[in-house]
Each structure stands twice: as C-alpha cells, then as structure tokens.
Chains A and B, each alone.
Chain A
Amino acid sequence: MSRAIGVDVGTFFFQTAEKKQEEIEIKTVRNAFVELEASEDIEQVLKQNKWQYVRDEKRFYVIGEDSMRVARMFPGKVELRRPMQDGVLNKGEKKKMLVMAQMIESSIGKAPDDKSLVCFCVSSKAVDNEVDNVFHRARLEGMIKRLGWKTKVIEEGYAIILNERPIMIEPDGTESPYSGISCSLGAGKANCVLAYKGLSILGISATRCGDWLDKKVSDQTDKPISQVTNIKETKLDFNNIDYDDDIIFALDAYYTNMIEYVFKNFAVKFAEVKSEFETPLDIVLAGGTSMPKGFREKIEKVIRNLDLPFKIKDVIQSKDPRNSVVRGCLIQAIISQKRLL
C-alpha cells in the first residue's frame, strides 16, 4: 500500500509524521550524534545500555537522544555533534551525510511502491545569509529518493499555514482559509510566510533564532550555552520576568531584538512585492523557540509597536508548536501523493 509521510529535518529535532487510521503518528529524534572509536569495551557499554549505534569501519556513531546520554557518560572525551546548523546541513561537519542518511532510512525505510511520497520542508530565502539552500535541498532529496520515495518540497513557513489554517475575513464578510502570516521559530532559523487561500505569496528566513539567542545570552552573561538553553526551556516566563536574574533578563532583551529583526525584514519584503491586504491578517506562531510561557503576548506587544505595511488581526500560538511543521508537511504529502494515484 502506498504511503505518504511528512518530514521536518530541523536543526535541533528530526521529525516524521504519518497518518495511521484516525491518528497521526509523529516520531521525533534529537538531531545530534557522537562518534566513538570502535572497540570491544565500548561496544559492551553500548549494548549494556541498549543504546543504538551505527558502525562504519572503525567507528561507532550513536545518534539521537542516546548521543546525549553517551556524552554525559564520557564528559570531555566525546563531543556532541550536530548534522544541521542554521537550518541547513552543517558544512563544518564531515559525518553529516552518513548520520542523516541513517536517520532518514531508519525512520521512513524503503518506499513500498512507486506511488509513495515524502514531503519535506526547507527554509525560505534568507535575508541575512548569502548561502542559498539549493545544495541542502538536493542532498536531502538524494537521501530520500535513494530509498525509492517520490519527493515534494515546501517552505517551512508554508507547512505551518497548512496545519494551522489561519482565516482572513474579506471586506464582504466571507472567510478565506489558509490566508495569513506564519512564523516558525526553530533552533537554526526563523521562517515567515504570507499565504492567501493556500497559495504562498512570499517567504523569508533569518538566522536570528533559538541558537542565536542562546549564544548571545551566553556571551553576555558568561554562562554556558547548555545552562542558557535549560533556563529558556524550563524557567523563562514572559509574563513574569525576573530582572534580577541575568540570564532571564538577557533572554527577554534578545527575544525582543529577534522579533523586531524578523518582522522588520519581513515587512521590507512585504513592501517589495507590493502585496495589498486591506483586511487585517492573523499571525500564527510555531516552533520550539515560540514555546516559553507568555511568548504570544510578548510577540504581540513587540510587533504592534512596529510600523508594518499590514494590519494584524490576531496573534495565534499553535496548539502543537513542536509538531506543527511536520504535520503541515504531512498534509502536503497526502495531497501530492493523491495526485500520483
């Protein structure tokens, strides 16, 4: 039986989504790995702990959540590495192809027939980075196609539009679904897309996002990045900022900077394409960086003070911010796969 799968190869997480009867099955794995020299002792430790690994010549590669545990077990001896950086395959990482290829094969397997399709997403054109994603996209396509799958590629922000279904109220009172602005805030990049009735009108991406925030706050407070990330994920609450806490204070300041930067750049592109929307637009938010408490109120407060070339109706936080992109990819995969049948 033909299959349709949505894949989100994120900087921090690798996710797949597939429809199984009335449910969507979502698999998530941390997009990280460690490399270990292959020896009997190491193999024994890996087996005792039931940690999965890939063997390539004289090396073991432990991928995903297990890599974090291995890194904690051998502090200073193994380095936690990431196949992705800034929303694309990490050009400084030599083993990225091997690790990504294994991660993809292990999660989606081989296509059952020639009508099976995978839809994955890539970032929109970057406003602050000369590097395009032609190579990144071709590499992911190659890794998926070699397993026999047909592929469909969409913009990350567009995937959120498909999943969140923002509605625009036309001047005559009618509803236009899948019309509005999406904002996907991940680890590597922020992605924004303007769509109208399911069509993507314009999209941008910017490298100021989760990793950038962590790095800036770490630099300013002299605290390790891991500590900053942990506080961001567990303690940060924009409705209750503790200004005596250096990390919290810095996070609040850099979040403001990031939001202004992303929306100012989006506004420039919006003006360039001379889009005319008389009626106010919804802004839908998703992604791990949008998850701290009070973020919806925070972003609304910041962007309502900006001079933007469009009116804002509501700022809506996704009910499932971590999975919204991969679910959007799945919707597109089902539509594209139906066309193949």
Chain B
Amino acid sequence: MFFIINKTRKKIVVKDIGIKLGPRQAVDLDKILGRERTERSKDLIREIRDGIIEIKRKDEIEKFKLKEEKNFFSDHNKEKIIKEIRQEVKQMGKDILKGISSPKENLNIEDIKKVMKEVITSMPQSSNTVIMKEVERQLERDEKVEIDPKLLSSIHERAVNELVKETEMGAISYTEEKVKEPLEEKVEELEKLLD
C-alpha cells in the first residue's frame, strides 16, 4: 500500500505519472500504477517535499508484495488505517464548517459539497463514510444561501421560456375600466421630491 492524500483544497496533478487528485482526495498508488513507476516520479517527490501531498502509509515493497500474495491485510491494520482516515475526515469537517462561518471569496456551498463528494468517493467504503454523510447532512441543515437577485431572476427567465415553449397561448378575458386622472402633477411633484 502506498496511500497518499492531497493536503490542499485545490485539484492537483502529479504530471510525470499522470495522477489527478481532487481537494483532500486520497489514493493508493500501488493499486493504480505499481510501485516502480511511483518511486521514479520526481514530481511526486517534489509535491511531498512541499507538503502538498502527504504519505499516509507506505509499505515496504517486499512487504507489500507479501501482503498481496498472502492477502495478509489484517483486521488490526485495517482498523488502524480507518482510524487514521477518520481523524483526517473529522479535521476536514471542522475546516469546512469553519470555512462556512467565515466564507472566503468565490467559495460557495456548492464548491464545498463538490469537494466533499470527491473526498467521499475517494475514501474506502467503511464506517468513515458515515461521518462524511453526517457532516454533509449538517451542512444541508445549516446552510444559508445568498443568491444574487439578478442571477436568480435570469434563471427564472430561462425557466419560464422553457416552460411555455410547447404551450398554445390563448387570450384571457379581462374586466376593463377607464379612470380619468391627470397623473402629470403627481409625477412632477414626486420627481422633485425624490431628486
């Protein structure tokens, strides 16, 4: 197992081995590439050195082969790894909630949800997923979405256009009345007051 995690909140690419990692995404490189290629990657070494990527677990190559051969991934080891991942996820949840209470520019609830979904899919299917789902549920509960009114009205504009596309429009009967009133005086008076 060569388990690494992207420590940042951005997507990163380890170019020379063609590995793309979403924000906070974790992968087992041994499963994707094999140890020989990853050991040779200069970009990976640099990312690890710069603290962008962290190695969560790296088994010795012989040991790794042995594990593969003997299927020796014990329950004890599994529990330990899951425990580590849980700690990581908990910390991540706290960071995200902190981010929501003091949102950064260009970061919205959809971005956070997207990040979380990517992390969830990259995690091994175990009880830690439950923790992520709980954090996500809490987000849904607490979210306060501020939408730009202009954007909202243009969304509705497009939605209505789509809605009435197939509709045959008929006239609607109205009651009509005519009231005599010169409005100019009121309009002029208000224009002066509101200028």
Measured CB to CB, the residues of A under 8 A from B are 19-20, 22-29, 51-57, 63-66, 97-98, 101-103, 105-107, 134-135, 137-139, 141-143, 145-146, 162, 165, 177-178, 197-199, 320, 323, 327, 330-331, 334-335, 338
Which A residues are in CB contact (< 8 Å) with B172? 29, 52, 63-64, 102-103, 106-107
B156 touches which of A23, A52, A142 (Cβ 8 Å): A142
Cross-chain contact B160 with A64 (CB below 8 angstroms): no
> Is B77 engaged at the interface, CB distance under 8 Å to the other chain?
no
Q: Give the complex CA separation of A165 and B178 in angstroms.
A: 20
Which A residues are in CB contact (< 8 Å) with B173? 29, 51-52, 64-66
Cross-chain contact B157 with A145 (CB below 8 angstroms): yes
Cross-chain contact A323 with B156 (CB below 8 angstroms): no
B178 touches which of A23, A57, A97, A162 (Cβ 8 Å): A23
**Can you give 18 contacting A-B residue pairs, CB < 8 Å?**
A20-B178, A23-B180, A29-B172, A29-B173, A52-B171, A52-B172, A52-B173, A55-B168, A55-B170, A106-B170, A138-B152, A141-B153, A143-B160, A162-B186, A178-B189, A198-B190, A198-B194, A334-B183
Which A residues are in CB contact (< 8 Å) with B156? 138-139, 141-143
> Is B187 engaged at the interface, CB distance under 8 Å to the other chain?
yes
Q: Give the complex CA separation of A338 and B191 in angstroms.
A: 10
Q: Give the complex CA separation of A23 and B158 in angstroms.
A: 35
Cross-chain contact B193 with A146 (CB below 8 angstroms): no
Which A residues are in CB contact (< 8 Å) with B176? 25-28
Q: Give the complex CA separation of A184 and B173 in angstroms.
A: 26
Chain B 154-177, CB within 8 Å of chain A: the 1/0 string? 111111110110111111111111
A97 touches which of B159, B166, B182 (Cβ 8 Å): B159
Q: Give the complex CA separation of A20 and B178 in angstroms.
A: 9
Q: Give the complex CA separation of A49 and B173 in angstroms.
A: 12
Which A residues are in CB contact (< 8 Å) with B149? 134, 137-138, 141
- Nearest chain B CB to A63 CB, angstrom units: 5
Q: Give the complex CA separation of A103 and B167 in angstroms.
A: 13
Which B residues are in CB contact (< 8 Å) with A101? 160, 163-164
Q: Give the complex CA separation of A138 and B179 in angstroms.
A: 31
Cross-chain contact B174 with A27 (CB below 8 angstroms): yes
Residue of A with least CB distance to B147 = A134
Which B residues are in CB contact (< 8 Å) with A331? 183, 186-187, 190
Known: A24-B178, A28-B175, A142-B153. A335 touches B167 (CB 8 A): no
In order of increasing CB-CB distance, the 4 nearest A-B pairs are: A142-B156, A138-B152, A141-B153, A142-B157
> Is B105 engaged at the interface, CB distance under 8 Å to the other chain?
no
> Is B50 engaged at the interface, CB distance under 8 Å to the other chain?
no
Q: Give the complex CA separation of A24 and B187 in angstroms.
A: 14
> Is B36 engaged at the interface, CB distance under 8 Å to the other chain?
no
Known: A102-B164, A134-B149, A145-B157. A330 touches B170 (CB 8 A): no
Which A residues are in CB contact (< 8 Å) with B168? 54-56
Residue of B with least CB distance to A26 = B177
> Is B69 engaged at the interface, CB distance under 8 Å to the other chain?
no
Cross-chain contact B163 with A98 (CB below 8 angstroms): yes
Residue of B with least CB distance to A199 = B194
Which B residues are in CB contact (< 8 Å) with A64? 172-174
Which B residues are in CB contact (< 8 Å) with A29? 172-175
Cross-chain contact B163 with A97 (CB below 8 angstroms): yes
Cross-chain contact A142 with B170 (CB below 8 angstroms): no
- Nearest chain B CB to A263 CB, angstrom units: 27
- For the complex with contacts A98-B163, A106-B169, A178-B190, 17 further pairs of A-B residues with Cβ separation under 8 Å are A23-B181, A26-B176, A27-B176, A29-B172, A52-B173, A56-B167, A66-B173, A101-B163, A138-B153, A141-B153, A142-B160, A178-B193, A198-B194, A330-B183, A331-B190, A335-B187, A335-B191
- Nearest chain B CB to A109 CB, angstrom units: 11
